[in-house]
Amino acid sequence: MRNNHFVVACMLLFCITACEAAPRLVYNGDTLEWNKDWIKKQCGTLDISKNIIEVSGIACSRVTPGYIWMQSDETARYIVATDEKGAERAIKVKFDKTIRWDWEDMSGGVYEGKNYLFIGAFGDNEETDGNYSIVWLEEPAIDPENTPEITVTPNQIKYVYPDGKKHNNEALMYDNREQMLYIITKVYYNVCQVFSLPFRTDYGDEEQTLEYVCDLGVRSDLGYSEKNQPYKGFHLVTGADISPDGKYILIKNHNNIVATYSWILLFTREEGESVAETLKRQIHPEPLYCYNYEWQGEAICWLDSTTFYTTSDADDGNPPIYKYTNKYMTDVPAVHSNKNESGKQLVMINNVMYIRSKEGLYTLDGRLMR
């Protein structure tokens, strides 16, 4: 009985600790202010007996709105789609076994008028593998009245790092404006790094070299506490995503050793900036006050610029799905537009990206629509 009481006390202590708001984050030498514009609620629960376990990456469907794609770093080589309530899968996509394993994140985006899914096959905890790739495929449609299972042979982009070293990664994001992939390393007790690669469909089997973008924060922000506990700065990045209109960037971490030292950072991109420029100018991001620590919380994705989701890859229960909404931006516009110096606009209509100019509406590969 005494042992049981001890176990219960430990569980309560952990829950209390995990549910406390994270302490203020020091980033680039400054203590960041909380962003309190977002509201969090649980919208669903994953039934891992029917769906997928240890979810480490998610992406909102653009072909069939209302569904979320999920991939696992435990269940071999398939992805599933559920609604935001975590209902039984609507579609299961199995992958050819030649594709590299150890998937850690996924993202979605538009390229030349088509919707794609990208999966980061780049996990390497021991930094001994070096065989990294981005798996990509055109997003399949979901039939809500059926639960098909299909097998695909996706493509992959093999890559190496410009420093010639091996890195562990758990975060992947795609920018619709630049059609650029961004990869963020997961580093214990040190600063994580951002790398980029333009997306193309014709890379073939040749290894590509990523471009170094920047560090996230500075190393001086990661000092030990007085009690000599593990670093409490922004390290251990586990997920990231860019809003479909390209305006906002989310980067999240988790620290299972010191649970309260986990944050979601929101970066706001200025007009005309690339993602690299936003991160390089060391803008002070805003940690979201509504975020509470999730055990093995790795998955995050935007629905639109007002809404995003998170879930965890906890395999000891049915993890919740959380929905975050901006309380000051409740109406989602049908078209997100970004005007460049030539007067052209990059717009999203019905989850598809187009170019609008005075001559008409064009697909990204130049076909006139109207």
pLDDT in tens, 74-83: 666 678 888 9
**Phi and psi at residue 237, to the nearest 5°:** -65, 130
Asked if 268 contacts 37 with a C-beta cutoff of 8 angstroms, the reply is no
Is residue 355 domain-shared with residue 293, that is, in the same domain?
Answer: no
**Average confidence score pLDDT of the chain:** 82
Q: Using 50, 70 and 90 to split pLDDT, how confident is the model at 323?
A: very high
Whole-angstrom distance, CA of residue 36 vs CA of residue 290:
7
Q: Using 50, 70 and 90 to split pLDDT, how confident is the model at 47?
A: confident
Whole-angstrom distance, CA of residue 41 vs CA of residue 122:
31
Is residue 328 domain-shared with residue 369, that is, in the same domain?
Answer: no
DSSP string, 143-159: -TT---EEEE--EEEEE
Instruction: Between 5 and 142, name the one with better pLDDT.
Output: 142
Q: Using 50, 70 and 90 to split pLDDT, how confident is the model at 348?
A: low
Is residue 280 domain-shared with residue 161, that is, in the same domain?
Answer: yes
The arithmetic mean of pLDDT across residues 112-140, rounded, is 92
Q: Using 50, 70 and 90 to split pLDDT, how confident is the model at 50?
A: low
- What pLDDT is stored for residue 42 in this prediction? 96
Is residue 289 domain-shared with residue 352, that is, in the same domain?
Answer: no
**pLDDT tens column, 275-307:** 999 998 767 899 999 998 888 889 999 999 999
- In 3-state terms, what secondary structure has residue 10? helix
Is residue 10 domain-shared with residue 108, that is, in the same domain?
Answer: yes
Whole-angstrom distance, CA of residue 99 vs CA of residue 135:
8
Is residue 26 domain-shared with residue 135, that is, in the same domain?
Answer: yes
Is residue 328 domain-shared with residue 340, that is, in the same domain?
Answer: no
Is residue 358 domain-shared with residue 222, that is, in the same domain?
Answer: no
Asked if 324 contacts 288 with a C-beta cutoff of 8 angstroms, the reply is yes
- What pLDDT is stored for residue 16 in this prediction? 38
Is residue 234 domain-shared with residue 186, that is, in the same domain?
Answer: yes
Is residue 213 domain-shared with residue 355, that is, in the same domain?
Answer: no
pLDDT at 249 over 80: yes
Total domains, the chain: 2
Is residue 317 domain-shared with residue 348, that is, in the same domain?
Answer: no
Is residue 208 domain-shared with residue 356, that is, in the same domain?
Answer: no
Range of the domain at 350: 336-370
Q: Could you tell me the CATH number of the domain that includes residue 144?
A: 2.120.10
**pLDDT tens column, 172-212:** 999 999 999 999 999 988 899 999 999 999 999 999 999 99
- What pLDDT is stored for residue 298 in this prediction? 92
